[in-house]
Amino acid sequence: MGDYGGRAFPIGWLGGFEEVDPRETPPTLGDVNIELARHLGSYSLHRCLARVRAQGHGGMLVLVPSTDALRLVGPAAVLRPKYGVLHNDFGARYRALLTRLLARSTALDLSSWAAYRLATDGELQQLHTEMEQFADLLADLMAVDGALALDKQFGLLGFGVEIAAPAPPTPYVYRALDAEGTQLQAEAADSGGTRHRAAYRLCQAEAGCQAIVVSQDGGIRLVRQRAEQVIFWNQLIL
């Protein structure tokens, strides 16, 4: 199911971002399914980004710590949505779907992502299709001018988002030369397109935020701050 194949986001970019919070997952599903849940979260993001790239319009996705959403999103905040949806059940619906997928996988004794991909169970395939539809909806929201803002549990915070972060105090951002981001190459902070510069400003101003920029030419850049340095990765493979 799907062509994601278990490819991971760069570990240095993931940092504190978890595609699933174990506290949201019934304990009876076990540790193996927590790992499967992370794969499903990565799969959803990969599918979303691949769809945005295929459509050729580019886009930007911002991931916000759930605890900071009320502070960071609003008409006078750093993230200013044209279409604000702070209070909705989007994230809850995703988590409910994820829980159903994990429960069915457990019932089928699917203990790995490889086993999940090869499964032919009709109920599981239907749930997987719903997960793909969720990812496609995210991609469609990214087509709106401005950024799509989610919390880190896939709760929808707004779309058509303007980023009102100030210019970074440093003239440099840093290109990661490895997945961990231990080897860095300095580049001018004012390089890149409008979306890239907005992502740099946001991540410099708010260390807990992360951003993904899809360029119209298909390039994908993952941005975050670490130790007061804004770092980006270009190695994502879809």
Question: Is a pLDDT exceeding 50 seen at residue 23?
Answer: no
Compute the half-sphere exposure of residue 107: CA atoms within 13 Å on the CB side of its CA: 9
Domains along the chain? Answer: 11-233 (3.40.1700.10)
**pLDDT number for residue 104:** 94
Nearest Cα to 184, choosing from 168, 172, 167, 197?
172
Adjacency order of strands within the sheet including 172-176: 79-84, 156-163, 147-151, 59-64, 210-214, 220-226, 229-233, 172-176, 184-188
pLDDT, tens digit, 9 for 90 and up, residues 96-112: 999 999 999 999 999 88
pLDDT, tens digit, 9 for 90 and up, residues 158-212: 999 999 999 878 899 999 999 999 999 999 999 889 999 999 999 999 999 999 9
pLDDT, tens digit, 9 for 90 and up, residues 134-171: 999 999 999 999 999 999 888 899 999 999 999 878 89
**pLDDT number for residue 31:** 54
Confirm if 212 and 203 have CB atoms less than 8 A apart: no
Q: pLDDT band at residue 84, thresholds of 50, 70 and 90?
A: confident
**pLDDT number for residue 27:** 47
Q: pLDDT band at residue 9, thresholds of 50, 70 and 90?
A: confident
Confirm if 229 and 12 have CB atoms less than 8 A apart: no
Q: Position of tokens 């109920």? A: 123
